[in-house]
Structure 1
């Protein structure tokens, strides 16, 4: 995706709308520069930039600091360790990094910011001071690392991701940045993403809030906090990374695992705009459109990456100012501009070449008591269960080798669906989380909990 895709080229009116949006963002946000990109269908289809220096606009190859988008890269490494069987998300931190005072928090809680840890490190602001001032995890956590009981609520924690970086180093026996380079950046071809700035890169600036003047911000090595916000990257690299977060890459993580990362784990606290958090990914809703990604900031820099799975569109926005430009909102607008102006064509309907006869046998109407449900066989081989009417529980199910089906979404996520057969081999009913689904409402021939009135259905009087 280094070069713009001609096959997926945007219409001139769409490109102009994108250009206009970042022009307004740079002007209203008073940013020294802003650079952005949009990807669709796995390819970069637009790049744009605005700058305060005439004739010196950045392009998609110029590095900016991306702040907390670094957390998503760290989460990818943790999920690799999980998929390799080196850790379980339910493991307490103490199992892998003992003696931290935060050992009861689990890996999943640290990934989803539900570990109860403090939002920031004790002492001086870590983003603007050298990492050498915090040489040990005790310096990152302080004497009282918890602000809430683990697992009780969402509370964004930068130190929590420093702990995850230490887990990676403990299990790999190498520095976080070295592991990231070998296991994620190189396989995905992200050769302009790095822990230290590489030319060409933007300088970070603080713009005076009440005057059109500015001063440079310090660019510190964050030390143990690196896994929470150290990285530098470009719009081209992040556009490619967005495609990975949507489709996966078996050299790094499977599509199934990145989908797990995109799944909500914790809801937001009241007053927080985000719709929640997955495993290293922020979730939000913009005008009814579900977006997944992450925002980032460090003194001198703002960053945002959002992708819409439904539209197969991703946007990246990078700026070199400490505040003023709403990078997350601008990136969401870029997604909306493309998705609304040039909506995605659905894949052509195609019949199965060879449908699973067992799954096919389960298709059609079923009844949970008097509630009408329907089972459909999806094109990916999963089963979809949903209400016939406007209300009710819906879920997808994955086939298992033993002939059962495991819930993937909704109320029945993780629950087991079984087809129970009669003596003649036909399916008599479905058993799901103690619920019995029958082909007729309250079928007297099925083991309906509580039994069925022997007089059957009748009117009044």
Structure 2
């Protein structure tokens, strides 16, 4: 996201401020802070506080809870890209002795490893990390209550194991790997493991009276990779821009896109949710959001990105419960996207190199059986195949070095599209994962699986 934009319209800014003001008032949060990023640039910040003149600013730290998991996932994906591990590797290959069997790294990233949601008592978020000095201490006697790979079951201990994996493979602490691998390259100078002033204090607000109680601040020890970080609206805005486009200094675009692909079905009863490799997925207001929510005693946080709209939002509150912070972050995206929709790039013709006559000759209608599809050339030598009428499977494809194309989305994700030629070199048909697309519907000379009735088409 690199375009330069003017500030938001005054009406849009007022709508954003109204949304967080309502959240702070109705949610009874001591303070509330939020920001919006558009096309990689911070375009709005707003804050409310119960103390006049003491609103947080873009550099005020809040604890971000489980948004920390996204940072841990990026560190793991980076090690994959460097060839230090494979996502299908069993955890025990790199971190022996955990007792979780053949659970894979990908399953841990996607919360499908079957691990328990929480550690043995006492509750880890409100007790000292010294009670759990080793990975075995966060797993308990029955570490995998569910079969691995079968269902989504959110697991904080799972991300503790991933943090220990980072340390084992890198040979440095998780905090040091985080600093060198993500924070320094992206310039996230106000994202830290421990609070650095100025920072908000964590509060519990009485459910039936307008009074508050300070929440304790615990060092979470080895549970830190699951939820210990502190950050700011400014830093998480920059991190959101990274989650939209990638950054080769940290993780390339393709790997960030891979993190956004659903890895497991949504949990039962959660039709609008899902989870990729370290990223929550949400379908809301007709758009797909990726990011994460977070909470620890005294703090609530939300980070969402709409890649299609080029808009991201971050929201914080320093309350244990009350304001629906992740919902507010999603609403901020909706407000901007609907009030000021993304302006598309100007249409431009293909370059001379992309206007390959052989590729252009493949464009136009093709038939899978009697279903009509159109093949369109995309920039970079890619193609798009889409139904011309009725329902059907639309997919984009990128070119392969050895020829043909590989599917990028939908039913044909990862499937190969190739041109099949006759002995004389002319095009016979397109093969897409064994599906045959011909220039005519059931042409008598075409390579239709099962053949074509010799009598041809007929009336009643």
Unaligned runs of 5+ in 1: none
Quote how far apart the aligned CAs of 1:6 are.
Answer: 8.3
For 1:391, the equivalent position in structure 2 comes to 391
Q: Is contact 1:304-1:331 (8 Å) kept?
A: yes
- Structure 1 residues 64 and 380: CA distance shift in structure 2, 3 A: farther
For 1:360, the equivalent position in structure 2 comes to 360
Quote how far apart the aligned CAs of 1:273 are.
Answer: 6.3
For 2:194, the equivalent position in structure 1 comes to 196
Residue number among 39, 43, 53 corresponding to 2:51 in the alignment: 53
For 1:92, the equivalent position in structure 2 comes to 90
1:312 partnered with 2:293: no
For 2:435, the equivalent position in structure 1 comes to 435
Residue number among 285, 294, 299 corresponding to 1:301 in the alignment: 299
Quote how far apart the aligned CAs of 1:265 are.
Answer: 1.4
Q: Secondary structure at the match of 1:26?
A: helix
Residue number among 135, 138, 143 corresponding to 2:141 in the alignment: 143
For 2:102, the equivalent position in structure 1 comes to 104
Q: Secondary structure at the match of 1:226?
A: helix
Residue number among 4, 10, 34 corresponding to 2:32 in the alignment: 34
For 1:342, the equivalent position in structure 2 comes to 340
Find the aligned partners of 2:84 and 2:395 in 1 and give their Cα distance.
31
Q: Is contact 2:272-2:284 (8 Å) kept?
A: no
Unaligned runs of 5+ in 2: none
Residue number among 266, 269, 291 corresponding to 1:268 in the alignment: 266
For 2:372, the equivalent position in structure 1 comes to 372
Give the aligned CA root-mean-square deviation in angstroms. 1.4
Q: Give the TM-score normalised by structure 1.
A: 0.97
Quote how far apart the aligned CAs of 1:416 are.
Answer: 1.2
Q: Secondary structure at the match of 2:384?
A: strand
Q: Is contact 2:4-2:41 (8 Å) kept?
A: no
For 1:227, the equivalent position in structure 2 comes to 225
Find the aligned partners of 1:6 and 1:379 in 2 and give their Cα distance.
23
Quote how far apart the aligned CAs of 1:361 are.
Answer: 2.9
Find the aligned partners of 2:391 and 2:5 in 1 and give their Cα distance.
41
Q: Is contact 1:359-1:383 (8 Å) kept?
A: no
1:322 partnered with 2:320: yes
1:170 partnered with 2:168: yes
Q: Is contact 1:406-1:416 (8 Å) kept?
A: yes
**Deviations 1:401-453, CA, capped at 9 Å, x for gaps:** 11121111111111111101123322210111111111111223232111111
Q: Is contact 1:6-1:45 (8 Å) kept?
A: no
Q: Secondary structure at the match of 2:151?
A: coil
Find the aligned partners of 2:100 and 2:92 in 1 and give their Cα distance.
8
- Structure 1 residues 118 and 266: CA distance shift in structure 2, 3 A: same
**Deviations 1:218-255, CA, capped at 9 Å, x for gaps:** 11111111111011000010011110000111111111
Q: Secondary structure at the match of 2:361?
A: helix
Quote how far apart the aligned CAs of 1:338 are.
Answer: 0.6
Q: Is contact 1:41-1:313 (8 Å) kept?
A: yes
Find the aligned partners of 1:382 and 1:83 in 2 and give their Cα distance.
24
Residue number among 111, 116, 123 corresponding to 2:114 in the alignment: 116
Residue number among 225, 236, 239 corresponding to 2:237 in the alignment: 239
Equivalenced residues, count = 457
**Deviations 1:90-113, CA, capped at 9 Å, x for gaps:** 111111111211131111111111
